[in-house]
Structure 1
Amino acid sequence: MTKRLLIIDDEPDIRRILQVSLEEIAGWQVSTAESGSQALTIVKTGQWDAIVLDISMPDMDGFDVFKQLQSDPYTQAIPVVLLTAKVQPSDRRRFAQMGVAGVIAKPFNPVTISNQVAQTLGW
């Protein structure tokens, strides 16, 4: 069965590269959201196998989006992979305490990103 992923990132280039990489290389079905508020609307429109979530976004950052996903019974079971340039030890500790499925550092390699996502999620 094809995996369905939602990518949440405010940068159009990142969304496009991720979508193409995950669809073309892994064969997954990918939807995108350009903001946290848009994502919280889209996530209710279907069944998702995972969410790839950028941390640094205007208006509502990835931490706020994750908190809202976790507080909603409909979305709290969806595994979330964080996509971030923040990879300091203090950031990693905070991510680990959040209960996310994993963290992928930016910049990422478009050729290997689907493998990273699959490994992180145990697929």
Structure 2
Amino acid sequence: MEKSILIVDDSFSLRQTITIALKGAGYQVVEAADGKEALKKLDGRKFNLVISDLNMPNLDGLSFVREMKQMPSYKFTPVIMLTTESSEARKQEGKAVGIRAWVNKPFQPPVLLDAVAKLVQP
């Protein structure tokens, strides 16, 4: 069975780049343009991983993850934060809400795929 990943980022071109890399590695991908749209996609279907941007309109990445982790079906879904933010304080804030990995933009697809492979359960 294919592993399914939710990508949450307000940049269309970045979502496309991530989608191409993930699909090329054999993953199914669902996209959302911001945290609000992503919450609507959390409708009971199984996601093996979420990759989210931090700074987005409507609902930022940390707020989205906080809300997602309140949902019993997604409480244990791992999250990678993909962002330009690299401050230790932000990383600690992310860890506190349940973010498992932090990948800085710009990124190389192999670096992201490596982080994905470590978090998606076989």
Q: TM-score, normalised by structure 2?
A: 0.90
Tell whether 2:114 aligns with 1:115.
yes
**1:74 Cα deviation from its structure 2 partner:** 2.2
Q: Distance in 1 between matches of 2:62 and 2:23?
A: 26
Structure 1 residues 47, 100: closer, same or farther in 2, change over 3 A?
Answer: same
In structure 2, the residue matched to 1:33 is 32
Aligned amino acid, residue 69 of structure 2: Q
> Does the aligned pair in 1 maintain the 2:10–2:56 contact within 8 Å?
yes
In structure 1, the residue matched to 2:22 is 22
Unmatched segments (≥5 aa) in structure 1: none
Unmatched segments (≥5 aa) in structure 2: none
In structure 2, the residue matched to 1:91 is 90
**1:111 Cα deviation from its structure 2 partner:** 3.9
Aligned amino acid, residue 2 of structure 1: E
3-state SS in 2 of match to 1:58: coil
Q: TM-score, normalised by structure 1?
A: 0.89
3-state SS in 1 of match to 2:42: helix
In structure 1, the residue matched to 2:77 is 78
In structure 2, the residue matched to 1:68 is 67
**1:90 Cα deviation from its structure 2 partner:** 1.7
Q: Distance in 1 between matches of 2:92 and 2:18?
A: 25
What percent identity do the matched residue pairs reach? 28
> Does the aligned pair in 2 maintain the 1:22–1:113 contact within 8 Å?
no
3-state SS in 1 of match to 2:72: coil
Structure 1 residues 70, 45: closer, same or farther in 2, change over 3 A?
Answer: closer
Tell whether 2:50 aligns with 1:51.
yes
> Does the aligned pair in 1 maintain the 2:65–2:98 contact within 8 Å?
no
> Does the aligned pair in 2 maintain the 1:6–1:43 contact within 8 Å?
no
Q: Distance in 2 between matches of 1:98 and 1:42?
A: 20
Q: Distance in 1 between matches of 2:72 and 2:116?
A: 24
Q: Distance in 1 between matches of 2:31 and 2:98?
A: 22
Q: Distance in 2 between matches of 1:4 and 1:105?
A: 22
Aligned amino acid, residue 49 of structure 1: N
